[in-house]
Structure 1
Amino acid sequence: MRSSKSIKESIATSASSRPPVLAGLLLLAFPWASTGLVYAEADTTLGTVEAIGELPYRTGNVISEESTASRSRVERVELERSPNALAAVLARESGVQYRQSGGFGSFSSVSIRAATGAQTAVYLDGVLLNNGGNPVVDFSTLEMLNLGSVDIYRGSTPMQLGHAGIGGAINLNSLQASKVNATRIRLGVGSLSLAGLQLSHQSRHGAWDVAAAISHRQSDNDFRFTNKNGTPLNTEDDTDEKRNNADARRTSALLRMGYQQNKNARTDLTIQVSARELGVPEWGNNPDNVASYDTAASQFQLSQILDGLGNWNSRHNIYWHTNSAQYQDLESQVGLGAQDSDNQTNTLGAKTYWEHLGDAGTLGLSLDLRQEKLDSTDGLDESAAFDARRQSSLATVHYVWFDSTDTWSLTPALRWQHNSLDGSQASTSQELHEYSSDSNTGLQIGLAYRPTSLITVTGNAGSFYREPSFGELYGSIGLVNGNPELKPENGINLDVGIQFRTDDMSLSSTLFGSERDELIVTSFNARGIGEPTNAGAARVIGIELAGELALTPKIQLRSNMTWQSPKSRDTAEGFRDKYLPGESQFSLYGRIQYQPSAVTLWYELDIQKKRFYDRANILPAADSEQHSIGIDWSQDQWQTTLGIHNISDDNIEDFNGYPKPGRTWSLSITRNL
């Protein structure tokens, strides 16, 4: 049989030499034919994959042969050809949805299997980005062209990552050096004064390798929409207007350097910075509105791999993340009263991962120590200021076992986390005694059965939880005050799936379910004052279908479909058996492309149906059906993409009263220098 050690050695030596696979899906290319087994994405996107920023195996990486989680990978070629926000690209995968408050640069979050953005763990090269001050990762602050690929794990989270979200996990793999030295410049333009410029470089110099990128994008976001003036049932007062105060500007830079000391030792340094300036439109589209929201972020991560310590391999990280957010509404044009808030978040941590390679399997151990700190002030209201600190320790143990024929594999795992908090609560400025949550233990197990090289059957079960954010514990936003007595949210996830893969086809289906309790919801008293409480509960069941098929060498199809029933189990009257807000019960994405030569013609379909804005399901969101077409051209050192998006010109509102742009066009030109 193959040992875990031989599997890793095989991956390390042959991962970059595997031939690309062409695939797609015929049945799900059209919504009326969505029956039968469909592909639940594997870790490699089918189709021609450009060798840019490949992700070679290194200790601490997730190994597809060992993981039983439902997963998919978005390759860089997909990230490069799309002008959309990163969240929109990820939402093309089954089980993934996103919400965005407007056009380019506006707030956007991603959810997996009807979990909230705060319940979805997001990583950069295996280091958690979520923290107490920023529990929801705003994907609009992330430059997708700084990434080599993105891995999505639904339901279960690999132990190499550590922390686990109730919905799953997303790992952002930063751009890495390619086999061939390359320098690229990319220019992008589009509707709404959209403009962008990016320069990237990848090279190797002996034992050193480097990848660097710098980019700037901006848009006026002055799209036209129908302003219903707060009376959706009265069309007589509707007006056609341009969106006001929605402009966005974002600048980002990435530097990643690696030094291969010898075959068993490697050092990697990643530094990423970004800054965004964003106008905040008012619900009624006030033309005099000048509210703004400016953010800045930085990530510093240093990694050292030490392998060959007997039968042990190891990886050690130190990291420092900072986030700054300043919101100004000095004239009280958007929120409840004038605000001039400034939030500063710092996360400092160290993470170590060890694995023991044996003939029957791999034993993995990890420890992550981190400290999170938030300082929040308001220049106009001293009583709104608060600060909070959290120290956390996360330990994980997992084992990957293979039988003698590699037909069966089993992956039991254990997580243990302890947190201690202290802070001062808004409106009281009174130092609180140290708040220490009970230690939380999570169990996870995965099973895989591979009767042939073409078929894999998997099953997963696990328990997960989410610590309350600093804002939920201590903050004060409008008429909602924090509650320092909150308990962690928790949940249990189950799924079972089957995958079928050939050289030109990949199909699969996954059934999933989740029970969630102690969910944090806001309750209001008789005076109209709100407070977060552990009063929510939910049950989510669903099915994910996806696949790809190469009809001919020139025609490829791809489609993903998700149906889910995310229902509240809240005991409060009016909320029980209602659908969770913001989550579509049915979503479908399809793409067909024709590539006769250097030109590729493509069409995309995106459908979202049956979702609500509120917990009581009184405010339904309109169903959406978006159509997009485009043409790609590649010749020698030039690549060009022209697309027309949302052809039907619909202003979709993921957040009630905050429309997104209608029909837009985009053009990008890339030159390899």
Structure 2
Amino acid sequence: MHKNACRSLIVVEGSKTNFVAAVLLYLIPLFSIQAQTQSENPKTNKQGDIPKVKKIKVVGKQKDKEYSKTGSVKNDPSGFTNVIELDKVKQRYTSLDEVLEREAGIRIRRYGGLGSYSTLSIRGSNANQVRFYIDGVPLNNNVGGEVNLSDLPFDNLEKIEVYKSGTSAGFSGSAIGGAVNLVTQKGKKDKSTQLQLGAGSFKTIKLNAMHKDFYKDLDYTFFAQREKSDQDFTFRNNNGTPILNTIDDFDDKRQNAWFDRFNFTTNLAYKHKSTTYTFLNDFNYRMHGIPGPGYNQTQKVKRKFLRNTSSLGTDTKGFWFENLNFQTRLYYTGGRDELFDPRKEFNSASPDSKANIQQYGLHLIPEIYLLKYHQIIRILAGSERETYKRDRRNEFHEIVEKTPRKFRTHNFVQLQDEFRFWDKRLRLIPSVQAEQYVDRYNEDPLKQNLTNLLNGQKTERKFTNYRFGFIGIPYQTPKTVLGWKMNGSIETRFPDFLELFGERGSIIGNTDLKPEKSKNFDAGPVLDLQFTNVDLNTSIAYFKKTIESMILFVPNSQFTLRPENVDSALIRGFEFSLKLKLYKKIMLDSNYTYQKAINTSDVTYLKNKYLPLRPLHEWQAGVEYYQQDKFETGFRTTFIGAVFKDRTNEYQNYEPARWLHNIYFSFYIYKAKVDNASKELKVTFEAKNILDKRAFDIVGYPLPGRSYYVTLNAKF
């Protein structure tokens, strides 16, 4: 993060004083406004009260449309943010990684086909630098930091928010590599039942059911899913000799790549007076095989993963005084991760394991409208705690070693101030976030329970992250908005448990690791045009990211690795995004990303090398045609530039550029409107990778070729 530890402490202590002073300055006008509001008599000052209340209501309940015109969201006005609406997409057989990959600046790395281990990179970041949330509840754990996209829900989502410009208001934790928020389906005074049945290649099948309803002030949504697949696709097996000997290559079937998953989600919302109470419960259970590399496939290795996230929230308009909106979020996540290797195909010593993860926290989110001062202040204060325990087991899944439980507490305060001038056409958005991490662990694995807590070693570190955003709108009419965005930030990523404490037998922990530090910058124009039969939204963004003290696992012995702060990177590029809708029938979209990600560390064999799996060029484009209430069809093409799949850029790990093409066709068997409720029956046919392109993202892990799917959707 910083060049030396002493400098880090000086920066933190100095920023702490400034932060406290800034909070006091922001709070001073609040008390004067509150006192003024309480002292006024509404009976003697009716003319003054009426316009004031109306003005507050408009701002306090404003819609996201004001921000969407510039490709933004309410809590991040200056950021380059993609909001992916999923209503149409989910009617086809698709997945979370496939939808995310269509956006500019996003790269997905897969270890196989549907349901395989997949990670996400935003603008060249590492997967463990990207933060994930579901309705604002953090999903990343502190074990390895990465999030497997296949472990996340998709069909129960309403939309996905992708934040590329750094930490955004209302989300906990620093985001070196950006953030993704999964927004679940809500009732919203809707009565409907939806059923979906999908099937396709490699013995794939999926069944979804969703019901939305409401009773007076109570909205509720229930969702259930079952999905499974064998993923036994054909691939080219190189027998472990990709370059030296291609004579022995042969076509082979992927083995042990199956998966079977269940997802149940409940959403409740109850409104009482000015407060809305919400409840979310998202349950995911997934079993899947771990196939290993193509030239050495496994037969029986499998994993069982369970995660249950529960959240209680409140949203109050006019809390304490009229200018204050106040939200709270209380959550708990329990997770279990088990590995089974009965034949010792991966590990000959203690092949099995079982890990338990618990995460819980409280977020307080006040939002203060200081209209007289042209400001909106957003505050997030909270505390999060995580515990992790992993047992090593033999091939019979019997415990052979109990490792000590590890604890992490994360306390934070975040402050964002949105200054609005000239009828909101100029906005300045400074923000600051103070974070405290407290880790507790034990070196002696024999310590148990209370002794484990009292005598455990404890480390505490504090950091401050900064961000400044700017958005200007030089030209604006009711149907045209031309704006300019710019953001700069300093972000940190604290080391995870695996990096700090290691893994017995393979990774030596390093408790002296410094956090990774990133300096981020992006800027560019945005344009939104709406005319008769034409709806256009486009943007161009230049971005630059400098990452220091990157953690790299270096060999410590013949069999072990040790994490060290020896890596750094410079990532620069630009994105172009365009969405065009014509005559409400034709939809065109195109995203292009140029990205140059270079390793700048002092390690001789890594310096000036391309970072692995970051193509220079990537392009996505699609065209769709709609005939209302009859049919729709579409074609999508993807170009992924050449990449190196290793840090040293060896020739044998070079992956050439590739083109992928998908096509689909949908038609309505039945569609009608009864009592203002839509009833429909729709079928969709799809062909993916129609040219049957064979490729690898990760060395040894093939991707599937051509595949076909059919989906039946019913709504009533």
- After superposition, the C-alpha distances for 1:525-554 in whole angstroms (9 at most, x for unaligned) are 354531011111111101010101235543
- The amino acid that maps onto 1:115 is S
**661, 669, 679: which one pairs with 1:627?**
661
Look up the SS of the partner of 1:473 in the other structure: helix
Aligned-partner Cα distance in 2 for 1:566–1:179: 47
Say yes or no: does 1:568 pair with 2:599: yes
Match of 1:378 among 392, 399, 407: 392
Alpha-carbon distance change, 85 to 386 in structure 1, aligned in 2, over 3 angstroms = farther
Equivalent residue in structure 2 for 1:612, among 644, 649, 661: 644
What SS does structure 2 have at the residue aligned with 1:137?
coil
Greater CA drift, 96-105 or 191-200: 96-105
Q: What is the letter of the counterpart of residue 455 of structure 1?
A: L
- CA 1:274 to 1:107, structure 2 compared with 1: closer, same or farther past 3 Å? same
Instruction: State the Cα deviation string for residues 104-157 of structure 1 (Å, max 9, x = none).
Output: 221111111111111001111112111212511211122211111110110223
CA distance in 2, matches of 1:444, 1:491: 12
* Counterpart in the other structure of 2:58: 9
Unaligned runs of 5+ in 2: 1-50, 672-679
- CA drift at 1:596: 3.6
Question: Which residue number corresponds to residue 367 of structure 1?
Answer: 381
Higher relative contact order (CA 8 A, sep 6+): 1
Contact 2:79/2:469, CA 8 A, preserved across alignment: yes
Which residue of the other structure, out of 564, 578, 588, is the alignment partner of 2:619? 588
Residue equivalent to 1:440: 463
CA distance in 1, matches of 2:231, 2:459: 45
Matched with 2:117 is 107
Query: Aligned to 1:394, what secondary structure does the other structure show?
Result: strand
| Equivalent pair of 2:238/2:295 in contact (CA under 8 Å) | no
Alpha carbons of 1:383 and 1:530: their partners in 2 closer, same or farther (altered >3 Å)? farther
Shift of 1:464: 0.7
Name the residue aligned to 2:268: 257
* Equivalent in 534, 540, 543 of residue 509 of structure 1: 540
C-alpha offsets along residues 34-77 of structure 1, whole Å, 9 cap, x if unaligned? xxxxxxx825xxxxxxxxxxxxxxxxxx516x610001111122
For residue 420 of structure 1, what is the aligned residue in structure 2?
A: 438
> Aligned partners of 1:478 and 1:579: how far apart in 2?
31
1:139-198 CA distances to partner (integer Å, 9 max, x unpaired)?
112221111111011022321223231111111101101443110111000000100101
Match of residue 25 from structure 1:
none
**Pick aligned residue for 2:315 from 305, 309, 314:** 305
Contact 2:442 2:456 in 1 (8 A): no
1:549 aligns with 2:604: no
The 2-side partners of 1:386 and 1:607 are apart by 47
Tell me whether 1:320 sits opposite 2:332 in the alignment: yes
1:237 aligns to what SS in structure 2? coil
Question: Pick from 62, 71, 79: which aligns with 1:42?
Answer: 71
Q: Is the 8 A contact 2:537 2:578 kept in 1?
A: yes
Residues 167-206 of structure 1 mapped to structure 2, 5 A cutoff: 167-206=177-216
Q: For residue 645 of structure 1, what is the aligned residue in structure 2? A: 688
State the alpha-carbon separation in 1 of the partners of residues 52 and 685 from structure 2: 48
Show the counterpart of 2:230: 220
Amino acid at match of 1:665: Y
Say yes or no: does 1:600 pair with 2:638. no
How many aligned residue pairs are there?
631
Q: Flag the structure with larger Rg.
A: 2
TM-score by length of 1: 0.89
Question: Structure 1 pair 377/3, CA: closer, same or farther in 2 (3 Å)?
Answer: farther
User: Aligned-pair distance for 1:81?
Assistant: 3.2
2:675 corresponding residue in structure 1:
none
Match for residue 500 of structure 1?
527
**CA distance, structure 2, for counterparts of residue 85 and residue 336 of structure 1:** 35
Q: CA RMSD in A?
A: 2.5
Structure 1 partner of 2:516: 489
1:331 aligns with 2:331: no
CA–CA separation in structure 1 for the residues paired with 2:517 and 2:572: 16
Deviation by residue 1:494-531 (Cα, 9 ceiling, x = unmatched): 00011111121112100000111111101113545310
CA distance in 2, matches of 1:532, 1:552: 56
CA offset at residue 587 of structure 1? 1.2
Match of 1:276 in 2: 286
Contact residue 120 and residue 165 of structure 1 kept, 8 A: yes
- The answer to whether residue 155 in structure 2 is matched with residue 145 in structure 1 is yes
Matched letter for residue 416 of structure 1: A
Distance apart, 1:267 and its partner CA: 0.5
Query: Which residue of the other structure, out of 421, 428, 433, is the alignment partner of 1:403?
Result: 421
Q: How far did 1:385 drift?
A: 3.2
Could you state the TM-score of these two structures normalised by the residue count of structure 2? 0.84
1:306 positional shift:
2.4
Report SS of the residue matched to 1:236.
coil
What is the distance in 2 between the residues matched to 1:137 and 1:5? 44
Say which of 407, 418, 422 aligns to 1:389: 407
Write the letter of the residue equivalent to 1:387.
R
Is contact 2:259-2:287 (8 Å) kept? yes
CA 1:10–1:202: 2 relative to 1, 3 Å: farther
Distance of 1:586 and 1:428 partners within structure 2: 53
Whether contact under 8 Å (1:122, 1:129) holds in the other structure is yes
Distance 1:647 1:398, change over 3 A: same
Q: Which has the higher helix share?
A: 2
Change (3 A) 1:284 1:632: closer
